[in-house]
Chain A
Amino acid sequence: MNLAETATRTATSPTQAQPVATTGGIEAWHVESPIVPMIALAFTFEGGAAQDPEGKAGCAQMLARLLDEGAGDLPSDAFQERLAARAIELSFHAGPDAIGGSLKMLLKHADEAVDLLALALAKPRFDPDSVERVRAQTLAGLRYQQNDPGVMASRRFFKEAFAAHPYGRPSSGTTESIAAITRDDLVAMHAQILGRGAVKVAAVGAIDAARLTEALNRSFGALPEAGPLRAVPHTTVQDLGRRVVVDLDVPQSVIRFGMAGVPWRDPDFIPAYVLNHVLGGGAFTSRLFQEVREKRGLAYSVGTSLVSHRAAAMTWGYTATKNERVGEALAVIGDEIGRLISDGPSDEELQKAKDYLTGSYALGFDTSTKIAHQLVQIAFEGLGMDYIARRNDMVAAVTQADIRRAASRTFADGKMLVVAAGRPTDF
């Protein structure tokens, strides 16, 4: 038996997800699994850091951080005490296109958890002392990372790749932009994004459909309609072929590189995903892992992944090597991409990549929280509830012709935008 088959016949399987809808129009994907006495809920609202007002990058992230800092009649400390007293884990985060959240609760505390979630979503207080505390925490976080080579390289990469576009702004903001955010900005963004029509929800655990419907009504039903979002124009990675140094006095340079990509909703995504696995996917067998790490000892970590935002997609990669070997590492990476452009993967390599990707898919669904998050991601992308059941067949069907098409759309002529943070000596 292969893991590929397991997803269809297990007790806690994402392929058994069922739609649950409330009369108020909230829809959720639901996997009932009574074995562990807990429930994991994941949700995501359309609209994230790309909606940050001009000059106020970091607004969505501050908003996300403030949702559990007091709501309704409960100021921050009281709200946190109510969560902690029942070991309810509630968290929010902002991505470029969405504000998402996660709620984990013991079955016996589900009512309390749902009540607190409802308050956090619909009636956050944004008390001035909480706003200032979160602002101070955010600023301290920015200062803490200010000279971290990994953070510096990533920030600069996005700034260059998506210059003059919302994706080029740091979603955690800058010291100036965080200082400029007002309570009114947060209130306005809350009304704009946290609305009933724009939410996707997934629930996994020891809860039946009737009870979930009631919980959805209570937690999301009181939300107003969301306000209109600003259009985010489609864009692609700019300045391919360019190399940028962020000067930092460290013995190792952190490298980020990127090229065009294919969005998750595109029919060529799956071929591009298989191709990415061959190049730099997460297994010890990838070409970059073998050539950069195993054969040459150039780096501890090296790999590539596909980034799929609402309005941009890219292939991007990471590694870190001592300053003296940056040129060598980039040459090896460039050669491997070049070989894939000219020759593609061998038939055997392609088959092994497909075997791995189909076989291991079920391993990503090993906890209730992970299942909930994957489901909500798939809902957010509009891929359909049967996506998980269909996905392995799509991977298995990828041909060399598909791979060639994906390579020309992602790698094109092999030119990359490269950012290195450190003091590379040959760059």
Chain B
Amino acid sequence: MGQKRTVLDAKGRTKDNGMHLFRKATPALFPTGHTAHAGRLEAAPFGRSEAGGPEVSSFSLDNGLDVVVVPDHRAPVVTHMIWYRNGSADDPLGRSGIAHFLEHLMFKGTETHPVGAFSKAVSGLGGQENAFTSYDYTAYFQRVARDHLETMMAFEADRMTGLVLDDAVVAPERDVVLEERRMRVETDPSAQLSEAMAASLFVHHPYGIPIIGWMHEIEELNREHALAYYKRFYTPENAILVVAGDVTPDAVRRLAEGTYGRVTPQGARPLRLRAREPEPKALRRLSVADPKVEQPTLQRLYLTPSCITARDGECHALELLAEVLGGGATSYLYRKLVMELGIAVNAGAWYMGSAIDDTRFSVYAVPAEGVSLERLEEELDRILRRAPAEALDAEAIERAKTRLVAETVYSSDSQSSLARIYGSALAIGETIDEVRRWPTDIEAVSKERLSAAAERYLTPARSVTGYLIKTRDPDAPRALAAE
């Protein structure tokens, strides 16, 4: 626990944890890869072949609040989460970062509870709390002993409409967010490359804008912007309550009705206005060149359907394809580029399926000493072209399925993971049934579907290729220096 955060990073403490960046099976090179995993790799807690699993139940309150209850009776503890169906991709034009800034400001007190009262109550009860913002949702959570669930609900329901902001707290919190951006991006060339690649991949859709916002726009965000955004999105009909833990659905319903149930609805769920990404036509290339870079890297993004925009199970095929191509030391890319050719020290792939709109599929490689990024890219492309014929043997597919399905059992060991899986799925419009069916759907993906997905989506016109390279001239224009 600790600091408020975006989904980009767990704790925002030291970055020293990245010691194993170049270890196989580590997608941590890419801050947004974290989102992909939180969303899908952990998704669906129960394999069909594994024992039972919790009977997840759901219902809605009269004011439109959706409620999900995930039983976990191993300890008398609950995870209480409230999810709002708005994230950075819903930031108004020119106000990037407002969803995330508001998430910070939500800790600044209400008419009923002055600043700090909620956090003091949580810590006084021995609880833990945090919040995070992603592209498609914003969520707040506390972990407390079962008996304190109602207290948490009362505080959180109060904060749904009662937020009070004055400039004396808004201004320093904006400085906090600016420091957060300096820490995550302004001091880190690889984060700058990730931002530039997303901005290039999404030529029209707001997924191209960083969750935390652009520096110059964060600097201009103010109290009025925050309150206007808050009034638009923080309503019961836009929220999902997820309670995981040692509780019954009846008890949750009773407590929720007495707290959240009293919040006045707006009458309709706020609309999300999302531009649709056009069919891509142009292969794009870019680079970030910085004197601080001592280890070049190669990254590639492809525009693909998400689990919401995909048809006919294509997202399950893409999920499995990422695992076959780039999930760990037995994956196709690692085998070819690292083990056989020895031109890379690491290689992998990931897919961010958990998204409302068209999303990203990534492959990446870290060159061995003395290997140029150009040569590495050439080999990568050669190998990817052969993937439909070479990578998809029955054993490799089976291995990838086993790993993905096992992940669902492993995540059912964690109450917080369960709450996150259901919350994030519902926040983007998936159903509980879809979450539960996920392992079965993964196991049903055929070799033909994998091959078709690779041929259809891993194409040059859908791609952005990024180079992270060193420049010795700090004044050279960054975006051009590599070409």
Contacts and interface: CB of A to CB of B under 8 A. Distances in A.
Interface stretch (A147-155, A220-228, A262-270): A147-155
A106 interface: yes
B407 A87 contact: yes
B179 A320 contact: yes
Nearest to A149: B187
Contacts of B116: 284-285, 294
Given A106-B409, A136-B369, A322-B182, A360 B75 contact: no
A244 to B, nearest CB: 17
A245 interface: no
A84 B24 CA distance: 13
A369 B75 CA distance: 15
Interface in A256-307: 282-285, 289, 293-301, 303
A252 B182 contact: yes
Contact of A249 (B292, B406, B412): B292
Contacts of B128: 283, 360, 363
Contact of A301 (B3, B187, B410): B3
A359 B369 contact: no
Given A1-B146, A77-B330, A145 B125 contact: no
B48 interface: no
B180 interface: yes
A104 B179 contact: no
A382 interface: no
Nearest to B2: A282
A177 interface: no
A258 to B, nearest CB: 13
B11 A369 contact: no
B345 A136 contact: yes
Contacts of A10: 74-76
A84 B399 contact: yes
Contact of A144 (B51, B147, B295): B295
A143 B292 CA distance: 10
Given A85-B402, A356-B124, A363-B77, A138 B413 contact: no
A360 B3 contact: no
A65 B416 CA distance: 30
Q: Give the contact-size bracket for chain A.
A: 35 or more
Contacts of A138: 22
B19 to A, nearest CB: 6
B474 A320 contact: no
Interface in B385-423: 395, 398-399, 402-403, 405-407, 409-410, 412-416
A76 B328 CA distance: 13
Contacts of A144: 21-22, 190, 294-295, 297, 366
Interface string A107-128: 0000000000000000000000
A12 B119 contact: no
A318 B176 contact: no
B188 interface: yes
Contacts of A303: 2-3, 13
B257 interface: no
Contacts of B58: none
B19 A249 contact: no
A77 B335 contact: yes
A296 B409 contact: no
Given A147-B294, A359-B125, A295 B22 contact: no
B255 interface: no
Q: Give the contact-size bracket for chain B.
A: 35 or more
Nearest to B17: A150
A151 B186 contact: no
Interface stretch (A31-39, A184-192, A233-241, A331-339): A31-39
A400 interface: no
B423 to A, nearest CB: 17
B179 A318 contact: no
A172 B16 CA distance: 11
A136 B339 CA distance: 12
Contacts of A293: 3, 176
B188 A140 contact: no
Interface string B292-332: 11110100000000000000000000000000000011100
Interface string B23-41: 1100000000000000000
Contacts of A282: 1-2
Nearest to B75: A10
Given A137-B346, A151-B15, A359 B182 contact: no
A282 B22 CA distance: 29
A300 B186 contact: no
B129 interface: yes
A86 interface: yes
Contact of B77 (A6, A104, A301, A320): A6
Interface string B348-365: 000000000000000000
A320 B179 CA distance: 8
15 contacts: A10-B76, A36-B409, A77-B330, A85-B402, A89-B410, A140-B368, A141-B21, A144-B22, A148-B15, A249-B292, A250-B186, A295-B172, A297-B172, A320-B179, A360-B126
Interface of A: 1-4, 6, 9-13, 33, 35-38, 40, 65, 76-77, 80-81, 84-87, 89, 104, 106, 133, 136-141, 143-151, 154, 172, 248-252, 254, 282-285, 289, 293-301, 303, 318, 320-322, 352, 355-363, 365-369, 422
Given A151-B16, A318-B14, A362-B77, 6 more contacts: A10-B74, A65-B23, A104-B410, A139-B369, A144-B22, A284-B4
Which 6 pairs across A and B sit closest by C-beta, in order of nearness? A359-B126, A297-B175, A297-B172, A87-B406, A147-B292, A143-B295
